[in-house]
């Protein structure tokens, strides 16, 4: 923590948190003997609490009212799509009893709960993230206590109420899912993180750091700032349509939204024309300066403009009348770093454009963008060349590289993506995260390894050292 709680504050927050933890443990004990079928019913109940059309819509409306971020139609899609996809993933796997057995190694793996999970959720996805984490937690027969973002508190609280109601409807303990009571505070969240058995944080990097310092095992995620290459072999209209759909989804609230495009110089003008056809508006040099001035104030993103509708941005940037019809805005950039904020994450319908003379230079631009912000998270490429994605993946420090995707719809899982559905994406040690993959149910399990004797597997010294001896001697 960056400040020590006073004794009075500490006693006050503990008095609130301790009963929540106690009720969570009591509820876990009640489902300790649940078989896989019953465990999956709990998960389905949570999914249905948000997926049902009336609930997905009402919570989407509340989220926009509550946070001022995004838009209702896309939040409805997010509530349903992420929940449906996560349920698909979870119902295909075992999480109770024996989950893996390998006769060759003599190892049998038994899944056990991790305990009470503290789930810290962001304002950008106050419903979907809460349900997503709760589904994964209950898949492991754990209980979860949600710590809502202050600016999304009403939505997350209503979401938790819906999950509790659905659990009660199927005769399960409602206290398997709880939320911190109002008012939201860092002190209350900190007390919860210290009392829980596992902390899973999606949201601000301040909360991620606090989680790792809490003394409780923690999983945090990193900041996004996705750069995407468009090379000279790409289907430009396909790429532009996918980028536009991804960039504009929920007004760019997703950490997986494209933030920069790195376009090979030979097709730059053609790609720009395709992006315009997809609804992009290219800002002039003067307009680009107005974008920077409006979007960043005092060195920080202007909350009045992040995740807002395109028309709101067009007016704020004082763009000419043709911009009123745009879906997103493009600003040409040549450099990176704090003095060039457009090279960072924008959380808005603004894309930075970079020219690269060739593919090798494009990879270097991607690397430099990520070195400034977003290293470890993800990047992408639109190409018909099968080797270039492999080169990009081998040479850039990110957990995910997406090929010919609308990035937002593939990075956190998709029906045409092999990545599992999630709203929490680990970024590895590159962003001081404990995982370098998408958060999944496996992160909510303890595993007991049963080891049986197998035929001895002891190679000779020659097998292990022979090549080394031959090359360097003994």
Kindly state the average pLDDT of the residues 385-394: 98
CA distance to 15, 384, 395, 401, 425, per residue, from 360 (Å): 58, 16, 10, 16, 27
Same domain, 410 and 312: yes
pTM score: 0.94
CATH of the domain at 88: 3.40.605.10
In sequence order, what are the residues at sequence separation of 6 or more whose Cβ sits closer than 8 angstroms to the Cβ of residue 338? Answer: 299, 372
* 456 found inside a domain: no
283 is catalytic: no
* 164 found inside a domain: yes
Structure-token pair, residue 340: 């060039």
Same domain, 137 and 34: yes
* 462 found inside a domain: no
Same domain, 215 and 245: no
Of 256, 393, 249, nearest in space to 328 by CA: 249
Structure-token pair, residue 7: 């004794």
Kindly state the average pLDDT of the residues 299-320: 96
pLDDT at 178: 98
3-state secondary structure of 297: strand
Q: How many residues does the chain have?
A: 474
Same domain, 329 and 368: yes
Residue 19's Cβ-count burial label (10 Å; 0-12, 13-18, 19+) is exposed
Q: List pLDDT tens digits, range 326-368.
A: 999 999 999 999 999 999 999 999 999 999 999 999 999 999 9
- Please give the angle made by the CA atoms of 176, 182 and 187, to the nearest 5 degrees: 90
CATH of the domain at 375: 3.40.309.10
Kindly state the average pLDDT of the residues 435-456: 97
Same domain, 320 and 192: no
Q: List pLDDT tens digits, range 223-263.
A: 999 999 999 999 999 999 999 999 999 999 999 999 999 99
* 464 found inside a domain: no
* 257 found inside a domain: yes
Percent of the chain beyond pLDDT 70? 98
Kindly state the average pLDDT of the residues 409-423: 95
pLDDT at 2: 42
pLDDT at 8: 44
Maximum pairwise Cα distance, the chain = 79
Same domain, 201 and 262: no
Q: List pLDDT tens digits, range 55-71.
A: 999 999 999 999 999 99
* 465 found inside a domain: no
- Please give the angle made by the CA atoms of 259, 219 and 12, to the nearest 5 degrees: 110
Q: The domain containing residue 368 runs over which residues?
A: 226-418
Same domain, 238 and 161: no
* 37 found inside a domain: yes
Contact present, 51 and 79 (Cβ < 8 Å)? yes
Same domain, 300 and 206: no
* 35 found inside a domain: yes
Same domain, 56 and 133: yes
State yes or no: pLDDT of 5 exceeds 50. no
What count of Cα atoms within 13 Å lies in the side-chain half-sphere of residue 148?
Answer: 28
Contact present, 117 and 137 (Cβ < 8 Å)? yes
Q: Where are the alpha helices (DSSP H) in 332-420?
A: 359-372, 388-395, 407-411
In sequence order, what are the residues at sequence separation of 6 or more whose Cβ sits closer than 8 angstroms to the Cβ of residue 181? Answer: 16
Q: List pLDDT tens digits, range 173-183.
A: 999 999 999 98
Same domain, 202 and 247: no
Same domain, 197 and 297: no
Q: How far apart, in whole angstroms, are the C-alpha atoms of residue 385 and residue 364?
A: 18
Question: Which of 255, 283, 379, 427 does the annotation list as catalytic?
Answer: 255
Confidence of residue 206 (pLDDT cuts 50, 70, 90): confident
Confidence of residue 6 (pLDDT cuts 50, 70, 90): low
E strand or H helix that includes residue 391: helix 388-395
Structure-token pair, residue 335: 């450099």
pLDDT at 9: 58
Helix count and strand count (H, E) for the chain: 16, 17
Structure-token pair, residue 303: 């909350």
Q: How far apart, in whole angstroms, are the C-alpha atoms of residue 75 and residue 245?
A: 14
Domain count, the chain: 2
State yes or no: pLDDT of 7 exceeds 80. no
Same domain, 285 and 377: yes
pLDDT at 77: 97
């Amino acid at each position: 923590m960056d400040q020590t709680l006073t004794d009075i504050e500490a006693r006050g927050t503990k008095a609130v948190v301790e009963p929540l933890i106690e009720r969570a443990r009591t509820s876990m004990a009640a489902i300790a003997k649940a078989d896989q079928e019953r465990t999956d019913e709990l998960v389905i109940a949570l999914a249905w609490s948000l997926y049902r059309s009336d609930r997905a819509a009402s919570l989407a409306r509340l989220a926009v009212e509550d946070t001022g971020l995004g838009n209702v139609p896309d939040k409805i899609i997010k509530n349903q799509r992420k929940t449906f996809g996560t349920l698909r993933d979870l119902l295909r796997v075992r999480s109770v009893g024996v989950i893996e057995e390998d006769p060759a190694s003599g190892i049998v793996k038994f899944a056990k709960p991790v305990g009470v999970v503290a789930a810290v959720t962001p304002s950008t996805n106050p419903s979907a993230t809460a349900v997503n984490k709760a589904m994964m937690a209950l898949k492991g027969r754990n209980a979860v206590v949600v710590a809502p973002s202050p600016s999304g508190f009403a939505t997350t609280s209503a979401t938790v109420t819906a999950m509790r109601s659905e659990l009660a409807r199927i005769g399960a303990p409602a206290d398997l899912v709880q939320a911190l009571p109002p008012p939201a505070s860092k002190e209350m969240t900190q007390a919860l993180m210290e009392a829980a058995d596992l902390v899973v944080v999606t949201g601000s990097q301040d909360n991620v750091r606090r989680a790792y310092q809490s003394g409780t095992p923690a999983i945090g995620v990193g900041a996004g700032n996705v750069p995407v290459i468009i090379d000279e072999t790409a289907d430009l209209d396909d790429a532009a349509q996918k980028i536009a759909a991804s960039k504009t989804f929920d007004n760019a609230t997703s950490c997986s939204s494209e933030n920069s495009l790195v376009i090979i110089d030979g097709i730059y003008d053609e790609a720009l024309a395709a992006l315009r056809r997809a609804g992009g508006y290219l800002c002039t040099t003067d307009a680009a300066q107005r974008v920077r001035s409006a979007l960043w104030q005092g060195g920080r993103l202007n909350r009045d403009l992040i995740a807002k509708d395109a028309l709101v941005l067009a007016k704020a940037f004082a763009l000419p009348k043709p911009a009123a019809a745009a879906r997103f805005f493009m600003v040409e950039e040549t450099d990176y770093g704090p003095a060039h904020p457009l090279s960072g994450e924008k959380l808005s319908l603004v894309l930075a454009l970079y020219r690269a003379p060739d593919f090798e230079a494009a990879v270097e631009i991607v690397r430099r963008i990520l070195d400034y912000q977003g290293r470890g998270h993800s990047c992408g490429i639109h190409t018909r060349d099968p080797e270039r994605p492999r080169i990009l993946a081998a040479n850039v420090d990110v957990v995910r590289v997406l090929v010919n995707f609308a990035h937002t719809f593939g990075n956190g899982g998709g029906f045409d993506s092999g990545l599992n559905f999630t709203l929490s994406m680990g970024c590895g040690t590159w962003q001081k995260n404990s995982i370098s993959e998408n958060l999944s149910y496996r992160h909510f399990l303890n595993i007991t390894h049963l080891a049986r004797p197998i035929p001895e597997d002891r190679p000779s010294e020659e097998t292990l050292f022979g090549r080394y001896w031959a090359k360097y001697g003994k």
